[in-house]
A = this chain, B = another copy of it.
Amino acid sequence: MAGQKQQKDIGLKILTLNCWGVPVPVVCKHRNERMPAIGDAVANSDLDVAVFQEIWHKGDFDILKQRISKTLPYSHYFYSGSIGSGLCVFSKWPIGQTLYHRFDPNGYAHKVQHGDWFGGKGVGLAVITVGGVTLNVYITHIHAEYNRENDEYLAHRIAQAFSLSQFVKLTSLGADLSLVCGDLNLEPVDLGYRLILTNAGLGDCWLDKMTSDTSDKAGLTCDCPGNSYCPSKSAGKRIDYILYKAGNGVEATVSKCDVTMGRVPGKAFSYSDHEGVQAEITVKNSQNSIVPTPDPKTEVTPLLEESLGLLDEGLTVTRSGTRFFTIFAVLCLLLAYIITVVHIPYPLDFFVGVFRVALILATGYGVVQTLVMIRSEVHGLEAAREDVKNLLQHLKS
C-alpha cells in the first residue's frame, strides 16, 4: 500500500485501443481480419498491460485472449448491459480484484442506431499488484458525441464524466499508480475532459511525456486522415487517452507516449477506425508523500458550476419528453382504434392490420417511455446534479 517503506520501483508499458468491434458485417469492415491482427500485434510486443474498447462480441474477446495469452496471460472482460460494455483488459500480472461501475444515465434505448444504451456503459476497475506496487487500471468508454454542433447527449456525457471522476477519486486512495484508459469521446478542450482530470487529480500521459516517436504532434486518435477507415481530408481529434495518477509516497514519470496501432503490416487497412495510445511509465518511491491535488477554488469549482448548468438544461429537455411521449401514445392508440372500426376492403386490410400491430406496439412503447425510461433518465441526471452540488458546496466551505 502507498505510504509504506516498501521499495517500489517498476516500469510498465500500457496500450489502449478502441478496436471497432461492432458485430455488423457491412457496417464494420474487416473485423474478422483485424481482431487476430490486433491480438498478434499485442502478443509480439513488450507491453505489460493492454486495454480495449468496443469488443462487443464475446468471440472477438476469445480471439484476442487466444493470441495474447502467452504474452499477457491474465485477462478480464467487463460484462454489462444487453450487448456487453465492450471493455476488457489483458495483463502480464495477475488481476486481483475487479469492479464495474455502470454510468446512469446512458443514452436512449430508442436510438437503436447509436446503441450506447444497450452496452450499459461505465468504468471497469482492475486492481493489479506487482512488486509491492498496487496498480489500479480503469477502462472506460463514455457515451459517443455523434453531433458536435448539437449534442443531444451532452448532459448524459457530463454526468458520465463526473461519475467517472468521482469513482476514480474515491477508489484510487489505496493505489500507488492509477491509470484511466480508454475512449472518452471527449476532446481536450471539452468540459468533460477537464472535469475528469481536475476532479480525479489525473495527468494526461500524452501531455506529460518526456519523449515520443509519434510524428503527429497533436496526438490525434480518431477520424485521422491516415486511417484507412477515415476520409483523407478529416481533421482528426484526440479522444483516446491514458491518464495517470501517483499515490502517496510514490512518483510516476511518463518516459514515453505514442500514438500507435495504425496500419496492419502487409494490409491495406488499419487495425481499427481509432489509433491506439501507448505509454511507458516508471514508478518509484518519493520523499514527497502527499500528491499535489488541483486547487479547488481555481480549477474544480468553475467546472462544476458549468456542469451544473448543463445538467439543469438536460433535465428541462428530458422532462419535456414526458408530455411528448404521452401524446404520442394517445395518438397511436387513437389511430389504431380508428383503423379498426373503419371498414378496410381486401387486399388493403392485410397492410392496415400490420400497421395496427405497429401502432399498438408504439402505444406500449410510449407508455413505457413515459412511466419508466424518462423517469429513470431524470433520476440519473438528478443524481449527477446533486452529487455535483454536494462537491461544490464542500469545495466552497
Contact = CB atoms under 8 A, between A and B. Distances in A.
A3 B79 CA distance: 36
A282 to B, nearest CB: 24
Nearest to A128: B394
Contacts of A394: 94-97
B361 A98 contact: no
Most buried by B among A82, A95, A102: A82
Interface residues of A, number: 58
A372 B118 CA distance: 8
A76 interface: yes
Interface string A83-106: 110000000001111111110100
Contact of A99 (B76, B96, B109, B166): B166
B99 A102 contact: no
Nearest to A125: B170
B171 A379 contact: no
Contacts of A100: 104, 383, 387
A382 B340 contact: no
Most buried by B among A94, A173, A371, A383: A383
Contacts of A397: 94
A82 B166 contact: no
A170 B79 contact: no
A359 B173 CA distance: 54
Contacts of A3: 3
Interface string A365-397: 100000111011011101100110011011001
A167 interface: yes
Contacts of A102: 102, 104
A353 interface: yes
Interface string A24-56: 000000000000000000000000000000000
A82 B361 contact: no
Contact of A98 (B76, B173, B386): B386
B82 A373 contact: yes
B104 A379 contact: no
A125 B382 CA distance: 16
B163 A99 contact: yes
Contact of A379 (B79, B101, B170, B371): B79
A77 interface: yes
A379 B80 contact: yes
Interface of A: 3, 76-84, 94-102, 104, 109, 118, 120, 125, 127, 163, 166-167, 169-171, 173-174, 336, 340, 353, 357, 360-361, 364-365, 371-373, 375-376, 378-380, 382-383, 386-387, 390-391, 393-394, 397
Q: Which 3 A-B pairs have the closest CB atoms?
A: A96-B394, A173-B174, A79-B379
